[in-house]
Amino acid sequence: MLLTILLVVLGFVCLIFGANWLVDGASALAKKYKVSDLAIGLTIVAFGTSAPELVVNIIGSLNGYSDIVFGNVIGSNNFNLFIILGISGIILPITVQSSTAWKEIPISFFVTGLILLFVNDFFFIGQGSLVRFEGAVLLLLFLLFLLYVFKQMKRDTVGQATLNNKSIIKILILVVAGLSGLIIGGQLVVINSVQIANHLGVSEKIIGLTIVAAGTSLPELVTSVIAAVKKNSDIAIGNVIGSNIFNILLILAISGVINPIAYNTKFNTDLFILLGGTAFLFISMLTGKRKKLDRWEAAILFIFYLSYTIFLITKEL
């Protein structure tokens, strides 16, 4: 049992270092072009910090761990929104650009609602699961989202290009090392988390929503907190909203295309919480100081989800 726990911890370490190396390598490439912080947050940083979820879900989907697959994405999105954005907003009230307030946050709400409809057979497809066709629809929406972001990049390009002293070889080494860390870490986390769940009699759902979700969200946490400390609101919120959109439109989509994923309706509560949290974030753009997540609003996000997570764990034990 102790060895299994240590392997999970080792897996998280590999995921964190892997994500950091991948983000550093990808960012080094991006900085050769005149790209805004928000655009980098919504794409390069969001993808890099979502890479652990991608690896964990691919492995989970291939092995038929459907609760891990859904629990990881839904739990990670809730962790991103409530805990990470909550902590970041408490450190520094987050000022939001108009495009984020009126476009990216509603996009995140829409794709979450779409998943809720897909897995509950609203369209009479899938019979309580996310099937390949639905996964393909999500992937198509992901491509449209990328198109939107690239158009946004052209409008938001900064005046001066950032000099990048890293050689192409160093950048490629960072990217390859990052991907390797993610693959190894993903396997360690999924396989050993399931063993812990079986040993303790705890459901895969709870493991997915808590340990796996929090572990794979650590790169987002580190990135957004550091961005908040450095007073870079665009990276902080762009990373969270971008990651949430990536998790659904790319990661859950790929998981569904690999294997149809059986859906546990107990996740509906968590999806409604995610929808409610996203709606709260949008409303917070209209209250207090406009287009800003104030400290008290961030504190509400953080305290609510921390309380809910404690309730989930105590109910299971």
pLDDT 10s digits, 3-13: 999 998 998 88
Cβ–Cβ under 8 Å, residues 242 and 71: no
Q: Please provide residue 263's backbone torsions phi and psi, each rounded to the nearest 5 degrees.
A: -110, 130
114 compared with 45, residue with greater pLDDT: 114
Residue with the larger pLDDT of the pair 277 and 234: 277
The token pair that represents 134 in the structure block:
């639905």
Q: Determine the 3-state secondary structure of 317 from DSSP.
A: coil
For the domain spanning 2-156+167-316, the CATH number is: 1.20.1420.30
How much of the chain, in percent, has pLDDT values that exceed 70?
Answer: 91
Residue 282 pairs with which residues in a beta bridge? none
User: Residue 264 to residues 68, 77, 128, 130, 205: CA-CA distances in angstroms?
Assistant: 11, 17, 8, 11, 8
Cβ burial 250-282 (10 Å sphere, 16+ → b, else e): bbbbbbbbbbbbbbbeebeebbebbbebbebbe
**Domain residue ranges in the chain:** 2-156+167-316
Greatest mean pLDDT among 41-55, 199-213, 265-279 lies in 265-279
- φ/ψ region of 5 (left if φ > 0, alpha if ψ in -120 to 50, else beta) reads alpha
- In the predicted model, is pLDDT for residue 196 greater than 80? yes
Tell me what the mean pLDDT of segment 105-117 comes to.
Answer: 95
CA distance 41 to 47: 9
Residue type, 112: T
Instruction: Report whether 88 contacts 243 (CB < 8 A).
Output: no
Confidence of residue 273 (pLDDT cuts 50, 70, 90): very high
The predicted-structure confidence for 170-188, as pLDDT tens digits, reads as follows 888 888 888 888 888 888 8
Flag whether pLDDT at 204 surpasses 80.
no
Cβ-Cβ contacts under 8 Å for 7 (sequence gap 6 or more): 188, 192
- Residue 160 confidence class, pLDDT cut points 50, 70, 90: very low
More reliable by pLDDT, 204 or 74: 74
Question: What are the tens digits of pLDDT across the range 17-32?
Answer: 887 787 777 777 666 6
